[in-house]
Structure 1
């Protein structure tokens, strides 16, 4: 089933209404869909590099709106919708254990999940479920998603198709390493 969703998402890059499809995928990916919008974002930017930042903007707005929907799922429909979505990514025990830790690092969790390959929908639902202040959630989601999508747009705008392989295979790792370095630097500064 995931393979079919992946293939469908990829095939939409050539659709006449691909920007609308991108917005739809970015929205649902932030709340329940397992396929990231990058599958559409990358070919759309490569096809129209002068519109790279407009395409990234559409991704940010739709992704944050989808994140708000995920937040609402967590806040008001966790038992019926949120928990089944989360347990499709991990078991119920790890969801409960994660909840205990999440309240301490909610803002950072949103920022980290927004730029790394970690499923953003998990964080959006957890943010609503744990009662993270909605304003904090939205601001951190905007910052994280803008960093991610505008980094992709910038790389494709300046380097074009040759950078595509790097983005698809290694950009998530680069963001993850950057987050680790930032967190290590924060703790080193705090305790030294």
Structure 2
């Protein structure tokens, strides 16, 4: 995949440590993200952790700012043998939530795009147009790679609906299934095989590892295509 314009920086979830000082105008949003982050984590200490994981994964694919990995890791640390079960819950919620994101872009963007951009972090016209260019080149692999990256997935699902002439719903579902399940199962594999001690390493380096895995996956398919 080639790119033509630099991608606008998109806000992602707050890290575990406290937010660093910055401009006063940015503090309210950082404070809100931190409160949402803590709210997501608290579900791991309740009997409703699994349904909460599904709901958060669903919502994050269309409008919610905190990724489900946060809760998935917390649940898997307490029960490592259920790591792949929690990955499945995250994947199902994320793929189904991506369908909602697609419908938002397809049916409501013309009428409500301005409002959506004002309330959904990272959703800007520049980002939507940039993703549209990627979709024109190769929609399926753009979705697969997006599923692995730390870039908010909702930008890609909503943009898929906006550019439905380049991205059919079936393509979104197939790409989301490969990308999102791949990401969540990668988290599960680390926790299942290495145990809770790997938690801090996942939080620090996982996004880079997932991105590298996506690149290797694409290269593998390219090699197979050339050989065949």
Same fold at TM > 0.5 = yes
Aligned partners of 1:48 and 1:181: how far apart in 2? Answer: 30
For 1:33, the equivalent position in structure 2 comes to: 64
Instruction: Give me the whole-angstrom Cα distance separating, in 2, the residues matched to 1:63 and 1:95.
Output: 20
Structure 1 segments unaligned to the other structure (5+ residues): none
Q: Match for residue 45 of structure 1?
A: 76
Coordinate RMSD, CA, aligned: 2.2
For 1:146, the equivalent position in structure 2 comes to 181
The TM-score normalised by the length of structure 1 is 0.88
With 140-149 and 46-55 compared, the bigger mean Cα shift is at 46-55
Are the counterparts in 2 of residues 71 and 128 from structure 1 also a CA contact under 8 Å?
Answer: yes
The reply to whether residue 120 of structure 1 matches residue 148 of structure 2 is no
| Cα-to-partner distance string for 1:120-145 (whole Å, 9 max, x where unaligned) | 11111111110111111101101111
Give the direction of change, closer, same or farther, for the CA distance of 1:177–1:34 in structure 2 (3 Å limit): same
Given that residues 54 and 93 in structure 2 are in contact (C-alpha distance below 8 angstroms), is that contact kept between their aligned partners in structure 1?
A: yes
Q: Distance in 1 between matches of 2:213 and 2:81?
A: 28
- The alpha-carbon deviation at position 86 of structure 1 amounts to 4.8
1:106 aligns with 2:132: no
1:145-172 superposed Cα distances (whole Å, 9 cap, x missing partner):
1111111111101111111112111111
1:89 aligns with 2:112: no
Mapped to 2, the partners of 1:90 and 1:144 lie a distance apart of 20
Equivalent-residue separation in structure 1 for 2:95 and 2:217 (angstroms): 23
Q: Does 1:171 align with 2:202?
A: no
Matched, 1:12 2:49: no
TM-fit CA distance, 1:112: 0.7
Asked whether the 8 Å contact 2:123–2:155 carries over to 1, the reply is no
Q: Which residue of 1 aligns with 2:19?
A: none
CA displacement at 1:96 relative to structure 2: 2.6
1:134 to 161, 164, 169: 169
Q: So what's the TM-score if we normalise by structure 2?
A: 0.75
Name the structure 2 match of 1:71: 102
- Out of 175, 189, 193, the position equivalent to 1:158 is 193
20-29 or 174-183, larger mean C-alpha shift: 174-183
- Distance in 1 (alpha carbons) for counterparts of 2:102 and 2:113: 9
Going from structure 1 to structure 2, the CA distance change for 1:83 and 1:68 (only over 3 Å counts) comes to farther
Q: Give the superposition deviation at 1:90.
A: 5.3
